[in-house]
Amino acid sequence: MIDQNSRFVYLIICLIAISACSTSGKRSDTISTINDGILVPDATTKKQESIIIRPTKKTEFISKPVVRNLLKKAKIHSDVMDYDSAINLLERGIAISPNNPILWQNMAAVRLKQGDLAQAKQLAMKSNVLVEADEELRSINLQLINEASRREKVQKLGGSVLH
């Protein structure tokens, strides 16, 4: 017969084995910006349409698959300059996952493309609040804020915002 201490040790060993099996390196419900991309300004051209979706290399944020799908659809609509539809999809994503900085950043980029400069800056700042320690996302947010500020200055001087 197994004594009480042996049962306890056996139980602990089983629990450790089970917990070791249940941990994985990566959750399947993460947004990987390697595949999904985020909206960022394209520094190679100077046109307003130069805001493109470009993937980052390291950022992952936990999200539901439906949010990933909404982000992908928003990218498609943004690519064909259907900004209102892109905004609607991103708003739905934010309603589901309000602390996802990628959604806020994409919203900022679309607003910048629309010419809503003040809103673009506010949304990029909101993304920065949520971004935590990811310097790449923070840098992209700062690029969006700087571009919106630059365009505001150009507008005040009466120039074209497309350059």
Domain-located, residue 77: yes
Question: Which position has the token pair 């629309």?
Answer: 114
Q: Does the pLDDT value for residue 28 go beyond 80?
A: no
Domain-located, residue 11: no
Rounded average pLDDT over 133-139:
90
Q: Does the pLDDT value for residue 135 go beyond 80?
A: yes
Domain that holds residue 60: 26-156
28 backbone dihedrals φ, ψ, rounded to 5°: -80, -10
Domain-located, residue 162: no
Given this model, what pLDDT does residue 133 score?
Answer: 83
- CB within 8 Å of 35: residues ≥ 6 apart: 55
Q: What is the domain count for the chain?
A: 1
